[in-house]
Structure 1
Amino acid sequence: MFSDRQLDLFDHVGGAFAQPESGRLTMQELYRIAAGRAGIPMQEMNTRSPVGEKKTQRSLLQRQVRWHCQSLKAQGLLERVEDARGVWQLTEAGKQKLRKARSGVSVLAFDTKLGIAIWGDAHRVFSSWNEPIFLCLTSPPYPLRRHRAYGGPSEAEYTDFITRHVEPIVKNLVPGGNIVLSVSPNIFEEGSPARSLYLDRLTIALCDRLGLRLMDKLIWVSNQAPGPFQWASKHRMQLNTGYEYLLWFCNDPRQCIADNRRVLEPHTEKHKKFIAAGGVKKARVCSDGAHRQVLGAYSNPTEGRIMRNVIYEANTCASQRAYKKRARELGLEAHGAPMPLALARKLIRFMTEAEQLVVDPFGGSMTTGLAAESEGRRWASTELVYDYVRGGAERFTTDDDVEIHLPLTT
């Protein structure tokens, strides 16, 4: 039985061929790139299990990748390279389906009542931007120890990669505006169960280079698959990870425009009874004076309780499942690692007011745009991969004001 995270690997097999200029990959390159796109450690990709009556040791994930290659071949999108064993390449039809925007070209993919999606490079688009930005909410690609053939950053390149894409956005950020990056803590030192310090280096760089300040490391607790497999399940040196980080930065913390009153949560029935009973009945001092409770404290009714910085939200949702289904119906590759819509809506509501502009330089399946539209905020997203931005457009088709400018085949 494969987890949702492993099944998402299939979405990345075809996409892996789209990024190299040659559109040609060996199987070993394909395993590495597809695993990186899906967030699966190479140790897990290479793990072998007994298969069949003879209990032959095989990698089940690698076998699934090979099967998907055969499926793409049957669709006329992939072919074997003659005189090159184990090498596959896109057919001419395949090259038309999965590709990045050409360098220097930005195309309006679709627009809605409140936002626009651009097929093109984020740095180029936002370098010429001249409208105030209130929030940047994005989930950038994760780093790998080895450079990915499809153009994603390695761990060594990651700080410069993120800084380059965020810098033009920061220049247009209003005083007190915010940047939120959804990033993974599951990057390890090569051959070691020790976690990488890449997020610490990135945090320091964004503060030192761009003048941002770290507001918080929000913890997003999701239902992700158990891992890291190599160090937790196999060698038993680590614990399974159950969270991801949302790095939250502000350019002027004292003027921060976030307001937790926009995301108040309902009081528990127990707390409501506590308030109704008059709150604290006896003054006391706890924890060697660190906490003091005065008589009658917490007796005034409030609209709700302040949200904590630990957010519980499944990493799959009905909106994403519907998007993936629709993308496949249209013959498009679906983005394999999207943010849940409810999480994006909550963050946007917390950090902006109605009609303020929210941007996403790594638009993917356009979750930030859809969340902003749902919350009555204006938005702008960029995405390099045609299939992602065109598939994301389908999430807005229930809106009469959407206009899709990219054809399904070009």
Structure 2
Amino acid sequence: MRKLLYKTDYGKYYIGKCESEIKRLKLKGKVQLILTSPPFPLNNKKQYGNLVGEDYLNWITNLAPLFSEALTDNGSIVIEMGNAWEKDRPVQSLLHLKSLMRFVENPEANLRLCQEFICYNPARLPSPAQWVTIERIRAIDSFTHVWWMSKTDYPKADNRKILRPYSKSMKKLLEKGKYNSGKRPSEHVISEKSFLKDNKGSISHNVLELKQIDETKELRLPYSMLSISNTKSNDYFTKTCKKRNIIPHPARMPLELASFFIEFLTDEGDLVLDPFGGSNTTGFCAEKLKRKWISIEANEEYGYQSIIRFEEPSFNANIRKGEFFNGIQSGNFENGGR
């Protein structure tokens, strides 16, 4: 059974449906982090094969036990999901919220919600276009929900690995060595040394701001997010797709988002799984951060275009063809698939 499309020093990319591939690969109890952005619960069919309505709700709910079983005892599931809108109406659907609720509450999965995050991206195109740019009756939908779940109240996590650079005012405070201590209007009592310890950065927030909301303020992404985004890998992927006349996956997870959770919830050598691999943002970031990874994708075309990520000249990734690639594809890596 030929399913492996390609592999690298740290990971493997398989073609197939996650429901069957996770079982075939015998991943029970081996995955430290499942990080994915499943097909969004839209009310219209897209190229990447989303289900709609109640079919979607039932489908994603039934994935919860499968994902849970694949986790280590202290592993995590992180799911990014955008908002849904009612067909032909300027009204938001509750389907995405129901999907997340039903997923985490599936009694067969034994999951709990550790924390909700918001991924804000002001660079997103105005949507839904009909109501935002044409009729001008709604604001731009510019964020996605990110839910962090686990089988335990205390999954592996360390926020010291996702520290943000200190603000200029905090750096000055540390240099000065003093500040206005005492009782605040909130009735909190701030001691004379509460803020004088240099922790090498500030704790990250649960709103992930990919670009600054206020351009007059310094953007302070966590160090891990900066290290990934500064590679300009996403630019390379997009430009190469355009050069080769390839239409890239329309719903790619931001590199910064993937790197944030991989750094936060795993250690080097841990296994990261993306059941809906697409253009393989998860695998790419895991490779950069020296985590083992497995990506699964039902759409063969997206699998071939994901190879482009690892062709980045500065990356020097060691890509090897899998059995599925040799049996199906007549081209080569340099041509970026079909």
Interval containing the TM-score (normalised by the shorter chain): 0.7 to 0.9
1:339 corresponds to which of 227, 245, 253: 253
Mapped partners of 2:255, 2:101: distance in 1: 29
Count of residue pairs brought into register by the alignment: 301
Cα RMSD, aligned residues only: 2.5
Residue 330 of structure 2 aligns to which amino acid in structure 1? T
What is the CA-CA distance between 1:252 and the residue it aligns to? 0.8
Q: Do the aligned residues in 1 keep the contact of 2:39 with 2:49 (CA within 8 Å)? A: no
Change (3 A) 1:142 1:262: same
What is the CA-CA distance between 1:258 and the residue it aligns to? 1.6
Mapped partners of 1:127, 1:377: distance in 2: 21
What is the CA-CA distance between 1:309 and the residue it aligns to? 0.9
Change (3 A) 1:339 1:207: closer
- Does residue 207 in structure 1 map to residue 104 in structure 2? yes
| TM-score normalized by the length of structure 2 | 0.80
Report the more deviating stretch, 161-170 or 329-338.
Answer: 329-338
Residue 204 of structure 2 aligns to which amino acid in structure 1? M
Aligned to 1:153: 51
Residue 238 of structure 1 aligns to which amino acid in structure 2? R
What is the CA-CA distance between 1:166 and the residue it aligns to? 4.3
- Does residue 404 in structure 1 map to residue 304 in structure 2? no
What is the CA-CA distance between 1:149 and the residue it aligns to? 8.4
1:225 corresponds to which of 117, 120, 125: 125
What is the CA-CA distance between 1:337 and the residue it aligns to? 2.3
2:200 corresponds to which of 274, 296, 303: 303
Mapped partners of 1:204, 1:113: distance in 2: 37
Mapped partners of 2:198, 2:62: distance in 1: 47
Residue 159 of structure 2 aligns to which amino acid in structure 1? N
Task: Write 1 or 2 for the structure with the bigger share of helix.
Answer: 1
What is the CA-CA distance between 1:217 and the residue it aligns to? 2.2
Residue 351 of structure 1 aligns to which amino acid in structure 2? L
Mapped partners of 2:27, 2:39: distance in 1: 26
Quote the sequence identity (%): 27
Tell me the secondary structure at the aligned position of residue 105 of structure 2: helix
Deviations 1:243-282 (A, max 9, x none): 11212212212x2212110111111221122133334433
Residue 231 of structure 1 aligns to which amino acid in structure 2? W
Which structure is higher in RCO with an 8 Å CA cutoff and minimum separation 6? 2
What is the CA-CA distance between 1:147 and the residue it aligns to? 5.3
Residue 183 of structure 1 aligns to which amino acid in structure 2? M
Mapped partners of 1:203, 1:366: distance in 2: 22
Tell me the secondary structure at the aligned position of residue 184 of structure 2: strand
Report the more deviating stretch, 352-361 or 326-335.
Answer: 326-335
Mapped partners of 1:190, 1:357: distance in 2: 39
Mapped partners of 1:120, 1:348: distance in 2: 24
Mapped partners of 1:163, 1:142: distance in 2: 13
Tell me the secondary structure at the aligned position of residue 286 of structure 1: coil
Mapped partners of 1:119, 1:190: distance in 2: 31
1:143 corresponds to which of 29, 34, 41: 41
What is the CA-CA distance between 1:206 and the residue it aligns to? 1.6
Q: Do the aligned residues in 2 keep the contact of 1:203 with 1:214 (CA within 8 Å)? A: no
What is the CA-CA distance between 1:363 and the residue it aligns to? 0.4
1:376 corresponds to which of 290, 294, 300: 290
User: How do 1:10-25 residues align onto structure 2 when only pairs under 5 Å count?
Assistant: none
User: How do 1:42-191 residues align onto structure 2 when only pairs under 5 Å count?
Assistant: 107-128=3-24, 129-130=26-27, 132-146=30-44, 151-185=49-83, 187-191=84-88
Deviations 1:2-38 (A, max 9, x none): xxxxxxxxxxxxxxxxxxxxxxxxxxxxxxxxxxxxx
Report the more deviating stretch, 147-156 or 349-358.
Answer: 147-156
- Does residue 365 in structure 1 map to residue 262 in structure 2? no
What is the CA-CA distance between 1:137 and the residue it aligns to? 0.8
What is the CA-CA distance between 1:151 and the residue it aligns to? 4.1
Aligned to 2:174: 275
What is the CA-CA distance between 1:384 and the residue it aligns to? 1.3
Q: Do the aligned residues in 2 keep the contact of 1:184 with 1:244 (CA within 8 Å)? A: yes
Residue 80 of structure 2 aligns to which amino acid in structure 1? S
- Does residue 196 in structure 1 map to residue 93 in structure 2? yes
Change (3 A) 1:149 1:183: closer
Mapped partners of 1:199, 1:150: distance in 2: 17
Residue 144 of structure 1 aligns to which amino acid in structure 2? L
Mapped partners of 1:284, 1:340: distance in 2: 42
Mapped partners of 1:276, 1:150: distance in 2: 52
Mapped partners of 1:149, 1:116: distance in 2: 24
Residue 409 of structure 1 aligns to which amino acid in structure 2? S
Q: Do the aligned residues in 1 keep the contact of 2:63 with 2:103 (CA within 8 Å)? A: no
Q: Which has the larger radius of gyration?
A: 1
Q: Do the aligned residues in 1 keep the contact of 2:62 with 2:103 (CA within 8 Å)? A: no
Consecutive unaligned residues of structure 1, counting only runs of 5 or more, are 1-104
Mapped partners of 1:279, 1:206: distance in 2: 48
Deviations 1:191-219 (A, max 9, x none): 44332112321222122212211122211
Change (3 A) 1:127 1:313: same
Aligned to 1:252: 152
Residue 143 of structure 2 aligns to which amino acid in structure 1? Y
- Does residue 353 in structure 1 map to residue 249 in structure 2? no
- Does residue 294 in structure 1 map to residue 215 in structure 2? no
Change (3 A) 1:343 1:207: closer
| TM-score normalized by the length of structure 1 | 0.67
Q: Do the aligned residues in 2 keep the contact of 1:355 with 1:377 (CA within 8 Å)? A: yes
Residue 67 of structure 2 aligns to which amino acid in structure 1? I
Q: Do the aligned residues in 2 keep the contact of 1:134 with 1:358 (CA within 8 Å)? A: yes
Q: Do the aligned residues in 2 keep the contact of 1:280 with 1:297 (CA within 8 Å)? A: no
Change (3 A) 1:271 1:238: same
Change (3 A) 1:150 1:278: closer
